[in-house]
Structure 1
Amino acid sequence: MDLSWILNHLGEDREQYFGAVAPPIVQSSIFAFPTVASMRTGFRDELGNHVYTRGNNPTVEILRKKVAALEGAEDCLMFGSGAAAMSAAAIACVSGGDHVVCVAKPYSWTRAVLKDLLGRFGVSTTFVDGTEIANFESALTERTRLIVLESPNSMTFEQQDLAAVAALAKARGIRTLCDNSYATPLNQSPLALGIDLVAHSATKYLNGHSDVVAGALCGGAVLIREVFRGPYMTLGAILAPHDAWLMIRGLRTLPIRMERIAATTSHVLAFLEAHPRVRRVYSPRAHGNPQLGLSERQLHGASGLLTIELDAADVAAVERFCDGLERFLMTVSWGGYESLAFPVCAVYPADAQLHPPPGLSLSLVRLSIGLEEPEVLIADLDAALARL
């Protein structure tokens, strides 16, 4: 199945809705049945039938089919956020007394669900440096039921050898879950490498327009149905039909957006790596990345997310740089059409030290490259760096 078919036609049965090229938004919370028998059948399989939009909605179903096909998965569930997708997957895979192994620096809400929420119910988690397979192996116990990965992560971009971790886990009957938000299904295929479940903050590149918060979870049909019957239906963190429709529209341009973003990022990356006021650039494609070989082997293409460590004397200098940016919007998240900047120092008090132990350096600024011209972004960064 080719990419253009998935994005433009898969799941869109136009004969069912008057030949409309764009699918309709089925803005209905409930669906009626002609007989008791047909209603009974619907209740027995709410994932495969339209009973209640909390379970399965026709517009959301089109999106599910597209995202599943992009990931090479048998099925997909769409959620109201990426955090909901990761949380549902983790909750479905463990019980009280079980053990989880997770990479050391996951997304903050992934850490929260493992350590704070599941920890309250007797699930323990060991956080390990995921750059070495030996660290996973040494952390496993007889109670380990899940390994949580994020490759690359979304701040300093450490990766895991997904095929090696999957092989280790399968040999011991342990499930694996990977956050693939950075790479997108176009640039990394965790399921093909043996990973069981793949999650996305679909808010980012999959939607790509900074107007929808969404999450996706992809995997085998049996496992996805298990998640559906459990935390998906129980917790109700669903994606609304209108948001699904916006995401379908956003997906149409995913390949050309990612191609343009990658091309621009390569120019910005080269500029930043050569600038004397940038101590280090964190990116899977950076020349100084110790995992560059893994990037070339495991990632099919580049993304637009990178982090710079500024040569700053204090937090005030970092603020001068960020406040001087005119083409980068200062905000959270990433992966939209617009270029963004996220300073780590913004989450600390104004009088914080530049290197608070044991947290991230406050001289780090994450950049998300959008669809602007590279020379415009480079000129903006150059002018802001002069303010240091």
Structure 2
Amino acid sequence: MNLKKAGFSTRAVHAGQGPCPVTGALSTPIYQTSTFVFQNVDQGAARFAGEEEGYIYTRLGNPTVAAFEEKIAVLEGGEAGLAFSSGMAAISAVLFALTKQRDHIVSCDTIYGCTHAFMSSILPRYGIETTFVDLSDPEKGAAALRPNTKVIYLETPANPTMKLVNIAAMVELARQVGARVVIDNTFATPYLQRPLELGADVVVHSATKYIGGHGDVIAGVAVGSKEFIDEVRVTTLKDIGGVLGPFEAWLLLRGLKTFPLRMEKHCANAMEVAAFLEAHPAVERVYYPGLPSHPQHDLAKKQMQGGFGGMISFELKGGLEAGKQLMNSLELCSLAVSLGDTETLIQHPASMTHSPYPPEERLKAGITDGLVRLSVGIEDAADIIADLKQGLDGLLG
């Protein structure tokens, strides 16, 4: 069966996996090995020279990891995937592969805090400069371009403000200067949005989040053309490290089999929770692309298919102190960073995930002291809402 033509759920279950050719085992084996034995010296030499396909050493490739890489590439609509030990390992490897000294990156100003820190603190040590700009306005993106711009980098929806960027517009801008478009698709996932089909060059994920989905693995992945992925594998992955282990890859394979079911529930729950929050008198503003009140709701309907994701951010009328009181009073929702887990998680971006931002840049990006981020889980929506309601009602006095 041609899985590329199959439905998304079928691909999530079957892509990259089949019965073990030796034992017939239905579940992909965990090849928990560091190295692989050659039949003879000539075979070892041929594999190192790239003249024969096959495994050498798990830092260069592993059958369990390869199954995950193939599955996520099929789901994203890319030619090849490359797994990493974390989302930041994937992001840093991709950016190092695409840039060199005196190159320039244009990035959206609202991104994950550690990504911002990498671009603003680590890359400058290697002579690579980043301009942070509001890419939801294509004119601002165009104004930031330079002849030496090599990458346009963005998250859409953005973490944590849920701001969207028009992917097709960024692709058009990038082509003007020969830059590559790299998109962190962690929030949307390929279930809702496939940037490569819209012209992007590389997609990265923190696979820790929705792809794994169970809060039990740290991982990252990049998807793009086979030529680019092969280049990253034998350069920044091989020489810097950040390799995903076989057991972690197996956990991701297991998680992806229920990925469409989980995403459907995440999206349905988030829509109900967002509507509840928007109507509650203690809430000042809700940021969720599925709400008609979201300023880019029309773009979300065009760019995202099958839902609007499980992430919500909101501000309370009482600001930071009200946010603290709410988060400390919740019983079902867990006060924890990360996202995309089966459990509902709530956290304070300004003091937690986005604390690496300089305060003035954080505020400019819309990450206020009173902003609360909610990763809606797959519990019963009524129970999530009941927990939020008791906490919010307590703010009304």
| Structures share fold, TM-score greater than 0.5 | yes
Q: Is residue 298 from structure 1 mapped to residue 313 from structure 2 by the alignment?
A: no
CA positional deviation for 1:321? 1.0
8 Å contact kept, 1:42–1:49? yes
Task: Give CA-to-partner distance per residue, 1:6-45, whole Å, 9 cap, x none.
Answer: 2222222424241111111000000011111111121123
Cα 1:135/1:30, change in 2 over 3 Å? same
8 Å contact kept, 2:316–2:323? yes
Partner of 2:220 in structure 1? 215
Partner of 2:37 in structure 1? 32
2:390 to 367, 379, 383: 383
Gaps of 5+ in 1: none
Task: Give CA-to-partner distance per residue, 1:265-298, whole Å, 9 cap, x none.
Answer: 1111111111111000011112221111110100
For the residues of structure 1 that align with 2:44 and 2:273, how far apart are their CA atoms? 57
For the residues of structure 2 that align with 1:302 and 1:159, how far apart are their CA atoms? 11
Task: Give CA-to-partner distance per residue, 1:195-247, whole Å, 9 cap, x none.
Answer: 00000111000010000011010000111111112211111101110010011
Q: Is residue 373 from structure 1 mapped to residue 380 from structure 2 by the alignment?
A: yes
Partner of 1:111 in structure 2? 116
Partner of 2:332 in structure 1? 327
CA positional deviation for 1:318? 2.2
Q: C-alpha root-mean-square deviation of aligned residues, in Å?
A: 1.9
Task: Give CA-to-partner distance per residue, 1:285-326, whole Å, 9 cap, x none.
Answer: 1222111111010011221110110111x5433222111111
Cα 1:298/1:48, change in 2 over 3 Å? farther
8 Å contact kept, 1:337–1:371? yes
Q: Residue 14 of structure 1: SS of its match in structure 2?
A: coil
1:280 to 274, 285, 288: 285
What amino acid does structure 2 have at the position aligned with 1:234? D
Gaps of 5+ in 2: none
Q: Is residue 341 from structure 1 mapped to residue 335 from structure 2 by the alignment?
A: no
8 Å contact kept, 2:72–2:81? yes
Correspondences of 1:46-195 after superposition (within 5 Å): 48-195=53-200
8 Å contact kept, 1:17–1:24? no
Task: Give CA-to-partner distance per residue, 1:58-80, whole Å, 9 cap, x none.
Answer: 00000000000000000000001
What amino acid does structure 2 have at the position aligned with 1:311? K
1:244 to 243, 246, 249: 249
Correspondences of 1:244-263 after superposition (within 5 Å): 244-263=249-268
TM-score (norm 1): 0.94
For the residues of structure 2 that align with 1:249 and 1:258, how far apart are their CA atoms? 15
Q: Is residue 43 from structure 1 mapped to residue 48 from structure 2 by the alignment?
A: yes
* Higher mean C-alpha deviation, range 113-122 or range 64-73: 113-122
Task: Give CA-to-partner distance per residue, 1:86-132, whole Å, 9 cap, x none.
Answer: 11111100110111100011111211222211101111111110111
8 Å contact kept, 1:344–1:363? no
For the residues of structure 2 that align with 1:17 and 1:307, how far apart are their CA atoms? 49
For the residues of structure 2 that align with 1:341 and 1:265, how far apart are their CA atoms? 13
Q: Percent identity between the aligned chains?
A: 39
Task: Give CA-to-partner distance per residue, 1:349-375, whole Å, 9 cap, x none.
Answer: 9xxx9xx96673222111111111111
8 Å contact kept, 1:101–1:125? yes
For the residues of structure 2 that align with 1:344 and 1:199, how far apart are their CA atoms? 21
8 Å contact kept, 2:60–2:234? no
Cα 1:378/1:84, change in 2 over 3 Å? same
Partner of 2:317 in structure 1? 311
For the residues of structure 1 that align with 2:109 and 2:351, how far apart are their CA atoms? 22
8 Å contact kept, 2:12–2:260? no
Q: Is residue 364 from structure 1 mapped to residue 371 from structure 2 by the alignment?
A: yes
For the residues of structure 2 that align with 1:39 and 1:328, how far apart are their CA atoms? 53
Cα 1:284/1:4, change in 2 over 3 Å? closer
TM-score (norm 2): 0.92
Correspondences of 1:190-209 after superposition (within 5 Å): 190-209=195-214
What amino acid does structure 2 have at the position aligned with 1:362? D
For the residues of structure 1 that align with 2:348 and 2:143, how far apart are their CA atoms? 35
For the residues of structure 2 that align with 1:246 and 1:274, how far apart are their CA atoms? 39
For the residues of structure 1 that align with 2:16 and 2:273, how far apart are their CA atoms? 38
